[in-house]
Amino acid sequence: MTDQIFRPEARAPRGFADKRAATLRAERRIVEAVSEVYEQWGFEPLDTGAFEYADALGKFLPDSDRPNEGVFALQDDDEQWMALRYDLTAPLARFAAQNWETLAKPYRRYAFGPVWRNEKPGPGRFREFIQCDADTVGSARPEADAEIIALAVAGLEAAGLPRGSAVMKINNRKLLNGLLTAAGVTTEGQKLGVLRAVDKLDRLGREGVALLLGEGRKDESGAFTKGAGLGARAIESVLAFVAAGQPDRSGTLDALSKVIGGSAEGDEGLEELAKISAALKGLGVGDDQASFDPSIVRGLEYYTGAVFEAELLLETTDDKGQPVRFGSIGGGGRYDDLVARFTGERTPATGFSFGVSRLAAALKAAGRDEAGESRGPVVIIAFDQARMADYFAVAGELRAGGVAAEVYLGTSGMRPQMKYADRRMAPAAVIIGEDEFAAGTVTIKDLDLGRDLSKGMTDNAAWKAERPGQQTIPRADLVAAVRKIVDATR
């Protein structure tokens, strides 16, 4: 009996995606464009490690011996639990607490990188994804919130969402807190229940939220969700509050002032929103770019004041051409208590975060994917195996001229090599046989043009007539001719 060789099944872990060139280039373009904007606004880059001590993360950790629910955790050799970061904000809070004395304050930083969440994966829901954040730590001024909002508007525009493609929706937790206090709701459990109910307004509508504000709601499957337990009068007050949004920021402030009822905390929230509105006006952010929306509450419990979400306004479709709703593509707010977990002293902070992969997917679904099909390098056909050194010299010339290039290193003949170049999405193939070497010439095949013609693209006929599908030119003109193909607007 012969021993069987174990061969593992080639499979990626659930919730972890393999990304090829087109996706990686789209994400890289977003990160580079947004990073440039963030640095123009005076935010400095920061990169913290992938692992944090589990007790420093806090948010997902259950009361158990192994803190591995919601996060991926392991025990170090000194028996301390470490976990992969689930966002970029908790590491910032730890870093700020650890280095506060040496930082210029307020501390303005941006960061991007992968985060990991040990949650059930599903369509569009991954266990590993890239986030991009910008935060100001150390300023309690509402103008710091306004600057983060304006920065988010500018960053998303640089990423590929021009004006009218998205809107920042803004609220303040203090408004709802003041409203609930005036209605006699004082327990944190009830307040959290209200926040969770209001957060489902888009999905459940007014009636569904009313049920969750009261005794509870049974969904289509028959599962019952316990409600916040508010009385009828308090429910009507909350529903009136979330419906107070107006087309312009000043109109919303006027409507909210009539609903809040003069509570001290509510008035404080109104004053902060008024200052945010004035600062946004000074920053050139219009009502169509950033509006006040009382239904925005954000899901995380640590927000203490202003909260905001970026909503995509573009029509989006899936791979089958069916309409799909992306909704929120980023969000943030003020979190004045997070650093205090380490220091015991309240440290004001505000920030915005968006998922790079989610934004890239949204741009693709909206037909705004500038990367499109990922173009490969120019391919030099290996016509003569004895001339490999010469082919590498040709590739070197092209690279020195700013053109990505590679020499075919397989063993196939001419037709398979051309098929390889096409599959690589090469803009052109360079062919040099003995006749070309002897004459000091090169033959260039324009593969971009061939792909255009195969798709039936017949516009700009005069230009195409001047652009031959194949040409033989002097070797000295190689780089210029290839650059013309690579740089051409199809």
How many CB atoms within 10 Å of residue 474?
11
pLDDT, greater one: 205 or 69? 205
Query: pTM of the prediction?
Result: 0.84
Could you tell me if residue 306 is inside a domain? no
Residue 62's pLDDT is what?
46
In a domain, 443, yes or no: yes
Residue recorded with tokens 């968006």: 354
Please state the rounded mean pLDDT for residues 75-98. 94
pLDDT of residue 462: 47
- In the predicted structure, residue 223 carries a pLDDT above the cut 90: no
Q: Is residue 277 part of a domain?
A: no
**Domain contains 48:** no
Domain with 398 in it: 378-487
Mean pLDDT of the chain: 88
Q: How confident is the model at residue 490 (pLDDT cuts 50, 70, 90)?
A: very low
pLDDT of residue 437: 93
Give the percent of the chain with pLDDT over 90.
Answer: 59
Query: What mean pLDDT comes out for the span 289-299?
Result: 88
Q: Band the pLDDT of 454: cuts 50, 70, 90.
A: low
In a domain, 3, yes or no: no
Residue 176 placed within a domain: no
Q: Does 407 reside within a domain? A: yes
Mean per-residue pLDDT, 39-66:
82
pLDDT digits (tens, 9 = 90+) for 253-263: 999 988 886 78
Interval 329-343 mean pLDDT: 93
pLDDT, mean of residues 441-464: 72
Q: What is the CATH number of the domain that holds 403?
A: 3.40.50.800
* Residue 65 placed within a domain: no
Res 65: pLDDT: 54
Select the more confidently predicted residue: 239 or 195. Answer: 239
C-beta separation of 341 from 319 below 8 A: no
**pLDDT per residue as tens digits for the range 381-409:** 998 989 999 999 999 999 999 999 999 99
Grade residue 63 by pLDDT with cuts at 50, 70 and 90: very low
Residue bearing the bigger pLDDT, 142 or 22:
142
pLDDT in tens, 181-193: 877 777 777 878 8
pLDDT at 121 over 60: yes
Q: pLDDT tens digits for 426-448? A: 999 999 999 999 999 999 999 98
Counted domains in the chain: 1
